[in-house]
Structure 1
Amino acid sequence: MMSNKGKEAAEGSSSRPVSEPAPLSRYESQKKRDWNTFGQYLKNQRPPVSLSQCNYSHVLEFLHYLDQFGKTKVHLNGCIFFGQPEPPAPCTCPLRQAWGSLDALIGRLRAAYEENGGSPETNPFGSSTIRVYLREVRESQAKARGIPYKKKKKKKIENKDGDGSKNAMQ
């Protein structure tokens, strides 16, 4: 005989009250925190910037602001460890936000902007200037660490036709 608890689990119901929303996923929680942080950043500008006035330059300033909290050592051109993936000693080069963190952040903020009523056409997080900035950060960080960044190539699926020729499909 199955208890009520077992029956609820088997039917997929939960013991949460109906009015309580389901907990946010890790991604959704982070997106909400990022959105709130960006909103607070805009409010702290002098003069404060409303979301409708926000453009790619505010996003760039925000990314530069976040660098002060970074944990990735980015060697400068004149550093003796420039281009070394594992330097043998510490140096005075600055810590920055890692490219991957910035890329993920921009993705979350881009989605949050549109979820909060922003138009995809005016989304400052999707600006070509932001994409160029992220590419430059990626390349400079890879060069500073001596790790060449190689774009992943799309896999080609080969399909044999009846005549024995191969057609590449993507």
Structure 2
Amino acid sequence: MSAAVAAAAAAALSSRCNSTGTASAPDAARSDLHRSFIYPPRVLLPPALSRYESQKRRDWSAFQQYLRDHRPPLVLSRCSGAHVLEFLKYLDQFGKTKVHAEGCPLFGCPQPSPACPCPLRQAWGSLDALVGRLRAAFEENGGDPETNPFGTRAVRLYLREVRDAQAKARGIVYEKKKRKKQYGEPRSDAMMFQH
């Protein structure tokens, strides 16, 4: 209840008291209570972060920690695509995706086997999403888009190699999404002769 509402309620009570003579003891106590009670001001909380924003902050903190722990320690302005590749390879030790080696009898089999001695790696999709979040975080934290180490050709090639290697090892086919035909676009000859 705001102070204006409380004041209006007190004025109504006092006018009622004046019209009837004196107010009863409970009415007087109630009006004193309204006058003495002050509501605390509203505290505006910042909006809750989305899942993506929270993950981006965690990833950015992890990358900054990696730069601090690097020997010799690195500053962000000296970071290159090669350092990003080191970071992505470092993350492989925390991976949970079984990637079969070429000599493994399960190479090309999509079902993971607990008996297989092949290493666990970061999944390609996780690395791809991580690089996207870090690329955005770099620019949000004052980095120049022209020198963004997460957008270098070497990083893109590495991600493509990881995707292709994991696809072979796990028997997963990554197909390009087919482009939707725009309205009014001429049909190709192959499409014309299908009918």
Shorter-chain TM-score: which interval? 0.7 to 0.9
What SS does structure 1 have at the residue aligned with 2:186?
Answer: strand
Structure (1/2) with the larger strand percentage? 1
1:142 pairs with 2:167: yes
Q: How far has the Cα of 1:124 moved from its partner?
A: 0.3
Deviation, structure 1 residue 16? 6.8
Q: Does 1:121 align with 2:146?
A: yes
Higher-Rg structure is 2
Instruction: Give the TM-score of the pair, scaled to structure 1.
Output: 0.82
Is 2:108 the counterpart of 1:108?
no
Asked if residue 68 in structure 1 is aligned to residue 96 in structure 2, the reply is no
Distance 1:130 1:95 in 2: 21
Corresponding residue to 2:60 among 35, 53, 64: 35
Normalization by structure 2: what TM-score?
A: 0.72
Unaligned runs of 5+ in 1: 1-14, 160-165
Aligned partners of 1:79, 1:121: CA distance in 2, in Å?
42
Task: Decide whether aligned partners of structure 1 residues 140 and 16 sit closer, same or farther in structure 2, where only a CA change above 3 A counts.
Answer: farther
Aligned to 1:17: 43
Is the CA contact 2:97–2:120 (under 8 Å) kept in the aligned structure 1? Answer: yes
RMSD: 2.0
Identity of aligned residues (%): 67
The structure whose residues are more often helix, as a share, is 2
Aligned residues of 2:99 and 2:119 also touching (Cα < 8 A): yes
Q: Which runs of 5+ in 2 are unaligned?
A: 1-40, 188-195
Task: Give 1:76 shift.
Answer: 0.3
- 1:118–1:92 CA distance, 2 compared to 1 (3 A): same
